[in-house]
Structures are given as C-alpha cells and as structure tokens.
Structure 1
Amino acid sequence: MPSASAASPVSSAPTAVRGSWGRDLLLLTLALSVWFGLFLGSRPLNNPDEGRYTEIPREMAATGDYVTPRLNGVKYFEKPPLVYWLSALTFEVVGPLTGTNGVNEWTARFWGAAFALAGGLMTYAAGRALYGRATGWWAALVASSCILYYGLSRIILLDMVVGVTMAGALFAFIVGVREAAGPRRRWLFMAFYVCMALATLTKGLIGFLLPCLVAFTWLLVFNQWKALRPCYPVVGALVLLAITVPWHVLAALRNPSVDGLVWPGYAHGLELHHAGQDPGWMWFYFVREHFLRFTTTEHGRFEPAWFFLPVLVAGLFPWVVFAWQSVRHSLAGGWRERGRHLEAWFLVLWIVLIVAFFSKSQSKLITYISPVFPAAAVLIGHYLAKAWAERSGRGLRAGLWVFAGLVFVLAVAAAVYPLPAKQAALAPQLLPWRFFVGTVLAGGALAVILCLRRGTVRGALISLGVTCVLFFASANLVAGLFDDRSTKPFAAVLKSRLQPSDALYVVSDYAQDLPVYTARTVSVVNYAGELQYGIEAEPEKTASRFIKTAAFLVRWREPGVAYAVVRTAGYKQLFAAAGLPFTVIAETPRYVLVVNRSPNP
C-alpha cells in the first residue's frame, strides 16, 4: 500500500484527468438515472414492506410529527427515521405541485433508487481512486447490475440506504488513509463519520459498529496504525454525535415507559415487555430491536449459520461467475504479498466480516448483507478491467461459459417450469412473458457461446450485459403479477364512495398498503402483529381501533356505512354465521371488499 504521503490519482491528476472525472460522473449519473428510474412506479406497492415504509412517512407528513414514527396511527419504533424523513419531505414537496398528498409508487420508491444511483457513483469513485479509471467504470457497472442490488433499488426497504451509507463510510476510510494530511484527507474522513451517522439513523447501531469493526480489524491485522494518522477523531465524533443524538434524545424524552421512566432498566423493562406494557422507546429500541434481535429468535427470523453464503452467491448474479478469479487476481501472491495488496485485503475483510456478523445473528433476512456488494463490485471490476484490456484470459472465458450454462438453464425453466398452484390463474397473462424471458435468456446464452467460439471475449461480455439488462427489466415489469396482496384495486373503488364518516376495517389481517392508498388510518379486527407494541403503548388511543371479532360484528350492525377488507377464504362464513348483511363490491385473489349497506351517493 502506498504510504500516507503518496497521492491518490485524484490529488495528482492534471486538468485533463480532473475533467475526465467530471465527464465520467455525468455520464454515469445519466445512465444510472435511467437504469434505476425506468418503470419505478409501474407496480403497486408490495405488502407488507412497501406498504409499511410508505405509510409511516405519509403519517409523518400528515401530522407534522417527525420524532415519533407511527404506523396506522400507533407508535412504531423498530427502525430509526432517516428514510421516513426523506420520504415524508418528498411527499410534502411533491404534494402541492401535483394537487395531491404527494404519495404514489414513484415518489415512495424514489429514495431507494436515488441511493442506488449514489452507490453506483460512489463505487466508481472508489474503484478509480484505488485502481484506476477502467476499474471505476467496471465497478460501477457490476454494482448497479448485481441482481440483489438492482432488486433493492426497486423496492422500499431500508437496506439499500444502509448498505450505501455504510459502503460510503468504508470507501471514504480506505481512500482517506492513502492521502497525505491536508484538506482532501480531512474531507474523506469527514465523509467517513457522516456516512456512519447516516447509516446509524437508517438502521441503528450497526451503522457505525460494522464500519468501525472492518476498519479496526484491517488496521490491526496489517499493522497500519501509522496510516491512520491523522484521522480527526474529535471533530469526527462531534459530527457523528451532532447528526445522531438529537433524534435519539427527543424520541426517548417524548416516549417514556408506562411508569414515566426514560430508561426503566433492563430487568424492569423486560418485565413490562412481557406483561404487555410499554417499556418506553429507549428500552424497546436498544434492547428489543438491537440486543434481543441479534441474540434471540424473538423476531421469528432464524436461519442456519450458512444462510448468507448462497444469498451472496445468488445476489452477485451475473458477475458471480468472475468472483473467484477476481479474488485471486486482487490478492496475487497470497498472504506473503499482502503488503502489495492492502486495499484488496480491506475489501475482502469488508465482505467477510459483515457476512460473518450477520451469520452469527439469530435474526436473518436476505437483504441484511447489502453493504458487501459495493466492495465485491470493486474487486470484480478490477479483474474485468484487466481482462477487458487484455482481451483474453482462461478465467474470463471460464466465467463466460458458466454464465452461458446458467442462463440456458434459466431459459428452460422459464419455458417449462410449472407455476405454483396459487398462481395457476395467471398462466394466460404470463405466457407471453415466459416466452419473452425464455427467448432473452436463450438468446443471451447463444450470443455468449458464439462470441467465445469466435474468440471475441469483449463481445461475450457485452452479450452478458445486454442479456441481464433485458432480463432485469422484464422481471421488474412482470413482478407485480405475482403479488396478490395489493389493495390498490379497492382504493380505486373506494375513491368515489368512502366518506370521512364511514368506517373502514381490515379483518384478521393488516393490509399495509390500504392506509396509503386511502390516505387514512384503518381499524383492525382481531390482529396485532408488528403493531402490538404501539397498541399496548397507548391503550387509551388504540382500544377503539384495534378490536376483537365480537366487537366488530356489533359495530357492523350499527347505523352508518362501514367497509371491510376480509380474506377471501372464510368471509362468507364470518358474516353468515352472525346473520350480518354484506355486499361484495370488489375482489382480488386474496381479499374481498364488502360494505354493510348502500354507500353514500
């Protein structure tokens, strides 16, 4: 690794090279804006995640309360508020411009796509700073077209934002330690601290714990403590605290335990939690959502320790076929030559430590390892830049042959694999899509093979890229057909019927997107789920809205118009058994929308 006095390509670049940075970033911004923005609002919101993460900021914008997140009107403290804030502000800005509340599929998904774009640009910048311009381009391409990274840019989750902000922190660190003391190094380390703060405000303490773990391990294992000086720890700590502390303090003060304590203590908080009483924000957030989530199966997301290994392999598709070659190339000479490849070892540690950390957790979801993909993209991009320049390489050809085989298998599966029973009714709609996807994949495999037979590996790589662009775009368009949980069709029916005085219920379930599409909270019958804490925290406010079936049946008979969203299976028995009137006014494969009497004109 270069010494601290060695300048990066940025700091020593002449005017022409600095100009190429600007041109590259502009071209990438335009290309990735199209890539991540195209068809962004083409699908209804998916339940439960997209409904949840749209409704919380919708309620923030509607109430003006940016401290206490609420879901369907009840306190919801599972995650910090950064993404909620960004979306709520977007709704508040777009609303007056469009004459609406600003909430739609495109605005709701905007920040996931925006951070995906930022992650692509960041990966380019880091790849170029570490290994040169060609690596930067390839790294951005690889990151933006990994199937899991691309998928996360299309859905409303927190994982894209936390992944990009953590990656930003780690990229800033490894590029920063290469810089001599001065303004550039100072700004890079400030970016390190700011990105950790933003990650913390997105998904909690892992936002700074994991970047610090990776950086500390690298410094320790490779004895790079001298490269750390100066790292501006005092200013950095102040910046990190200034960004993260205010919300945490306000949330704690405004949401004490049932007995008025900001911090009830671990044991007493646990007693309150088990008794169904409010232990307060501080206990719930730090103990339940951090400590208990990591160490227990309370959240019901247990998976075996090896769970993330196939996730990593599949998530890197299609570029995973070059992963092994990339590691060998970047770590040439192995441990004996580690001093020549310190940046690559940092990237490898980044991937290994984050995967290992989440593998140890008792709560696992596929998206948790999102922070590793930018690091993997730089390693793979470094290898592909060299292979592209040399137009050859056994490893490159082997990877392309593997890709051709994989997509051919996928093409066959797209054509002949039977649909699950619950999607059998979609067969006529899916037939042209299956034919198109199968043709794209088979054509891509054939194009790669023909290029390899002719010895044009560049053509094979281009064929790989075109195949994946068409495959991902078509998969994005067809994905909505498989979601039977959307209540958007009901919202269209209710738009001309539902009055402010009418009651709206969801029975034995909670359709997360219904409050979004109807722009109002709903009453929930015989269901709590993840709303349990919020229901218990404010019983005086929630008792009338979260009710049992018996109370619902009584209300259904009362004067006034009431609508209910009920699961298709069993709704007739529910009303018939009690002798209640109902009329079905809309239906989806999963739900029916019923009304108790003729609606208001």
Structure 2
Amino acid sequence: MTTAKKDLLLISAAGFILFMLGNWAIAITDPVESNYTLTATEMLRSGDYVSPRIYGNYWYDKPAFFYWELIAAYKLFGINEFASRFFPGVFGVLGLCMTYGFARRLYDRKTGLMAAGVLGTCFEYWLLSKTVITDLTLFVFFNAVLICFFLGYSTGKRNLYYLCYLFAGLATLDKGPIGLLLPGFVLTVFLCIRRDFKEFLRLRLPSGLVLYALVAGSWYYMMYTIHGMDFINNFLGVHNFLRATQSEHPRWDVWWYYLMIFFLGCLPWSWTLPAVIRKYVKLRQKPVIDMTTAFLLTWALVVNIFYQCMATKYTTYTLPALLPIAILVARYLYNREVLVKRMVIGAVAVYGVLTFALAVPACSDEGYSGKNVAAVYKDMVTEDDLVVSYGDYKTSIVFYGGKMVYRLEKAESIPGMLPDGKSWNAKNVMPFISFEELPEDRRVFLILNNRRFDSFEKDFKVDEWKLLGEFKAAKVYVREAR
C-alpha cells in the first residue's frame, strides 16, 4: 500500500469516528434539520423522488440532491437520527481526503496531513459534519470545482476543466445556481488579478456548459415541466433572489458578521489567522506571493466578501473558504508539527466530550427539538385525532410524531401568514387552522408553547383540557371529543 493510500485510510478512519460519534443519540432539531428530514421522509413514502414535498405540499426551498442522500440513508438504516446525519459525515470525510490530496499535490505530504487535521478540527467543519444540512455536500462539490480548475490551469491539462462543470452541476443540484456562479466568480477574479485574460478562451465554455446543463439541468427541467412558473417563482424568486436582496434575519445584516463567523468557525486555530493574514497583506510582500498562495487567498477572501454583500446572512454560507484557510494555516505552522499534532488530538478529545456532554442533551431539549413532546402523544393518537400547535411551531414534532400538526392561529391572522410567493411567508407551508375551526366531535391534542400560556387561558376553557406532559418550553394537552 502506498503512503498516500495509508494516509487516506488514516484520515478516513479518524474522520468517520469524529463525525459519526454519538449521531444516533442527537435529536433532529428545529428549524432547519427537521425541514430536511421531514421532506425526505415524505418523498420516500410518496415514491416521488423528483419533487420535494413537506406537509403534503410541494416545497421549493432546495434542489433534490441532499434529499436523495437522506432517502438513500433511510433505505439503508431506517428513518432515524443516525441515518439523517450519515451523509453529512460521509461528505465531511470526503472533504478531508480532498484537502489532503490537493495540499499534497500543491506542496508535500506533510502539508496535506496538517491541512486535513486543521480542517477536520475547525469547530464549524466538525459541527456541520454532524448536522443535517446541505453545506458539507456543497463544500465538496464547490471546492472540487476550484481544485480541478487550478490543477488544470497550473499544469496545462485543460481537459480537467470538464470536471469543473461536472462538479458545478452537482453543486447546483445540491444548493442552487450558487454552485456555478460563486466558484466561477472566484476563478474569474483570480484570472483578472493575474491579467491572464486569454485563459477565459481556454475554459471549454461551450462544451463545458453543455455538460453542466446535462448534470444540473435535467432535474430543473423536470421540475419546470411538472410545476411550471410556481417552481421558478418560489425557487429562484424567493429562495435565491429574495435571500440575496432582502435579509431574512435583519439584525444579523451587519458588516462584521462574517468576521465573527470566520474566527469562531476556525476555532481552535483562530489564533493563527491574524498572523497568516498579516503575512500576506503587507504591500512589500505582494510581489513575492506565488501563484498557488495567490489562488488560495483569492479563494478564501472572495467567498467571505461575496456573502458579506448578500442581504441574508447564515453562519454556514462561508464554509467553503475553510479549505484554502486550512492549507494556509498548515503552511504557516509547517515547522511546528508537534504543536499541530497536540492541538488536533486535543480538539478531537474535546469534540468527543462535547458530543455527549453538550450536543446530545442540548438537542433533546424541547427548545430545540420536538422529540420529547411528540413522544407524549405518539402512541395515543389515532387517524381521526387532530394535533395542533399554538405558539412555536416545530416541524420536528411532525417528523417524530408521524402525524400532521396544524398551526393554530386566530382566523384574522391567518391570511397575512399564508405563502404569497413574494415574501418570506413563502416558507409557511404548514397547514393552518383557526380557533373557530377546532372541531368538537374529534379528540384534539394541543402542543402549547409556554410563552403563550396566558393567551391559552384567555382563548380556551382550561378545564376542558387534560395536561399530558409538561416541559421547560412546552405543554401537551388533550381535549376529548364531545
């Protein structure tokens, strides 16, 4: 077995242990993870693997690739927490192997091992490798585009550019048009900095875009054929254009947001970043920056600056920048190998403790997941019963309870909450029911957020409801049919 294969085997084994440890005990949380798991579950049960759906409605939040991953895992392991977190962990391992191979190709074996160790123990990377979310899949495909570009550019083997279009197509199937636009923007900035404008003519654009269209376009074409402009307006209009131009979380639309994420996400390596940055931004050093370093810096900076310019800020958006950062940190710490080994081993130990001491109990808390709440009524509820939620609606309750949950609101409030295709209300695809519509001839289970208890006492006859379970964040009641 070659040294490279031994290294990859070691990295894969360590990565699987780190990213899979405890996943069977970490509950599905709200609001993001539960949306993905419930959507994949409904697609699996419906037998329709083309059109994502949730609460029985078609759902255009993300393309289908990540849902296909979840469906595959559910077929292998059943519908459970471990299966839900399986492929994020797998892609986390693939990302480490890809980083090792690229850094080794650019520099040497030692740099590759150190870069993989740095990346795998970055807090954000570890966390997202255990989280049911699209970003680790995007990390691999997005960064594969840039790796293939640079290897093709630096070696003159320009047929490697076809792999760029292949991986961009897969990234687009996972996350949307950003899978092509942003890596394309990174390489465009790099070529402009080098003033190598002739290279644009060598990018295999016509044939490459055909390959991209075949990989990514097939699903988009099927969705448009089936759903028409409703798909276009919601997927491109709300979940892409609106997200870029109108902040979903306005309080986080601040200039320092990704600086904060940059340093928190890179823990425990953040202490090296100011020195790494300082090394390359000094004007007197610019003339001696080699092409490889310039590409890694462009890669990391463009990703962060691009998303800082977007209206909606998410902690996960800049994850792809961690790969070039890990390589730059490895080069900076190249002569401090013992320190790197100790930090990697220490970080792995800390993450193991955090998994069971923090992640497992925190994710089971009713403020983050509805698993315990759903367990209260799951074995009692029948097909004829109605389950409603008043206050903080949690999709995970639907996932764990196996029963549709209606969002209870006052009749006059519901029209202003329904999806309209023009605002963030497009995400409110759960079924609604008004106070006036609550049936008297059916048994009703009520999940009440504790912050709405005063309203509950005002709007209902409390003595009609029997308390089944009480938690820090919620209470579960039942009212028998009359």
Same fold (TM over 0.5): yes
Matched, 1:118 2:94: yes
Matched, 1:144 2:120: yes
Aligned to 1:565: 447
Quote how far apart the aligned CAs of 1:489 are.
Answer: 1.7
Using the alignment, how far apart are the partners of 1:307 and 1:68 within structure 2? 34
Matched, 1:132 2:83: no
Aligned to 2:425: none
| Equivalent position amino acid for 2:293 in 1 | A
Aligned to 1:418: none
Matched, 1:248 2:220: yes
Using the alignment, how far apart are the partners of 1:529 and 1:315 within structure 2? 40
| Equivalent position amino acid for 1:498 in 2 | V
Q: 2:39 aligns with which of 56, 80, 83?
A: 56
Instruction: Choose 104-113 or 504-513, whichever is displaced more.
Output: 504-513
Residue 32 and residue 534 in structure 1: after superposition, are their counterparts in 2 closer, same or farther (change >3 A)?
Answer: farther
Query: 1:216-235, CA deviations, whole angstroms, 9 ceiling, x for partnerless residues?
Result: 11112113456678544344
Using the alignment, how far apart are the partners of 2:465 and 2:15 within structure 1? 50
The alignment partner of 2:394 has SS state of coil
| Equivalent position amino acid for 1:196 in 2 | A
Aligned 1:285-434 pairs, distance under 5 A: 285-297=235-247, 300=250, 302-327=252-277, 334-338=285-289, 341-388=290-337
Matched, 1:488 2:371: yes
Aligned residues of 1:326 and 1:382 also touching (Cα < 8 A): no
Using the alignment, how far apart are the partners of 1:293 and 1:80 within structure 2? 15
Aligned to 1:479: 359
| Equivalent position amino acid for 1:595 in 2 | V
Residue 301 and residue 111 in structure 1: after superposition, are their counterparts in 2 closer, same or farther (change >3 A)?
Answer: farther
Aligned to 1:92: 75
Aligned residues of 1:331 and 1:344 also touching (Cα < 8 A): no
Query: 1:302-354, CA deviations, whole angstroms, 9 ceiling, x for partnerless residues?
Result: 5112211121012111112222444566789722124xx11111110111111
Instruction: Choose 194-203 or 123-132, whichever is displaced more.
Output: 194-203
Using the alignment, how far apart are the partners of 1:387 and 1:92 within structure 2? 45
Aligned residues of 1:301 and 1:362 also touching (Cα < 8 A): no
Using the alignment, how far apart are the partners of 1:349 and 1:222 within structure 2? 11
Using the alignment, how far apart are the partners of 2:396 and 2:115 within structure 1? 36
Using the alignment, how far apart are the partners of 1:43 and 1:543 within structure 2? 26
Quote how far apart the aligned CAs of 1:121 are.
Answer: 0.7
Quote how far apart the aligned CAs of 1:467 are.
Answer: 2.7
Using the alignment, how far apart are the partners of 2:249 and 2:136 within structure 1? 21
Using the alignment, how far apart are the partners of 1:48 and 1:480 within structure 2? 17
Aligned residues of 2:450 and 2:474 also touching (Cα < 8 A): yes
Q: 1:590 aligns with which of 433, 458, 473?
A: 473
Using the alignment, how far apart are the partners of 2:446 and 2:118 within structure 1? 47
Using the alignment, how far apart are the partners of 2:314 and 2:421 within structure 1? 26
Instruction: Choose 232-241 or 513-522, whichever is displaced more.
Output: 232-241
Structure 1: segments with no counterpart, 5+ residues:
1-15, 95-101, 257-261, 263-279, 389-457, 537-541
| Equivalent position amino acid for 1:335 in 2 | K
Aligned to 1:269: none
Greater Rg over alpha carbons, structure: 1
Using the alignment, how far apart are the partners of 1:82 and 1:210 within structure 2? 19
The alignment partner of 1:368 has SS state of coil
Using the alignment, how far apart are the partners of 1:189 and 1:481 within structure 2? 46
Using the alignment, how far apart are the partners of 1:530 and 1:123 within structure 2? 48
Matched, 1:220 2:192: yes
Residue 529 and residue 145 in structure 1: after superposition, are their counterparts in 2 closer, same or farther (change >3 A)?
Answer: farther
| Equivalent position amino acid for 1:157 in 2 | I
Using the alignment, how far apart are the partners of 2:417 and 2:82 within structure 1? 26
Q: 1:533 aligns with which of 403, 411, 419?
A: 419
Using the alignment, how far apart are the partners of 2:344 and 2:241 within structure 1? 42
The alignment partner of 2:448 has SS state of strand
Query: 1:347-396, CA deviations, whole angstroms, 9 ceiling, x for partnerless residues?
Result: 101111111111111111111111100110111112223443xxxxxxxx
Using the alignment, how far apart are the partners of 2:415 and 2:309 within structure 1? 26
Q: 1:522 aligns with which of 405, 410, 416?
A: 405
What's the RMSD between the two structures over aligned residues?
Answer: 2.9
Matched, 1:159 2:135: yes
Using the alignment, how far apart are the partners of 1:84 and 1:543 within structure 2? 18
Quote how far apart the aligned CAs of 1:535 are.
Answer: 10
Residue 515 and residue 107 in structure 1: after superposition, are their counterparts in 2 closer, same or farther (change >3 A)?
Answer: same
Using the alignment, how far apart are the partners of 1:484 and 1:315 within structure 2? 26
Matched, 1:43 2:26: yes
Quote how far apart the aligned CAs of 1:64 are.
Answer: 1.6
Residue 530 and residue 513 in structure 1: after superposition, are their counterparts in 2 closer, same or farther (change >3 A)?
Answer: farther
Instruction: Choose 365-374 or 221-230, whichever is displaced more.
Output: 221-230
Instruction: Choose 145-154 or 377-386, whichever is displaced more.
Output: 377-386
Quote how far apart the aligned CAs of 1:46 are.
Answer: 1.2
Using the alignment, how far apart are the partners of 1:508 and 1:469 within structure 2? 39
Aligned to 1:404: none
| Equivalent position amino acid for 2:247 in 1 | T
Structure 2: segments with no counterpart, 5+ residues:
423-427
Query: 1:31-64, CA deviations, whole angstroms, 9 ceiling, x for partnerless residues?
Result: 1111111112222111111111111111110112
Aligned length: 469
Residue 298 and residue 51 in structure 1: after superposition, are their counterparts in 2 closer, same or farther (change >3 A)?
Answer: closer
Matched, 1:79 2:55: no
The alignment partner of 2:45 has SS state of helix
Query: 1:155-202, CA deviations, whole angstroms, 9 ceiling, x for partnerless residues?
Result: 112222222321121122112222343xxx53x433322221121122
Query: 1:213-271, CA deviations, whole angstroms, 9 ceiling, x for partnerless residues?
Result: 11111112113456678544344222211111122122223223xxxxx3xxxxxxxxx
Aligned 1:258-269 pairs, distance under 5 A: 262=229
Matched, 1:513 2:396: yes
Using the alignment, how far apart are the partners of 2:61 and 2:172 within structure 1? 13
| Equivalent position amino acid for 1:481 in 2 | P
Matched, 1:574 2:456: yes
The alignment partner of 1:506 has SS state of strand
| Equivalent position amino acid for 2:324 in 1 | A
| Equivalent position amino acid for 1:574 in 2 | F
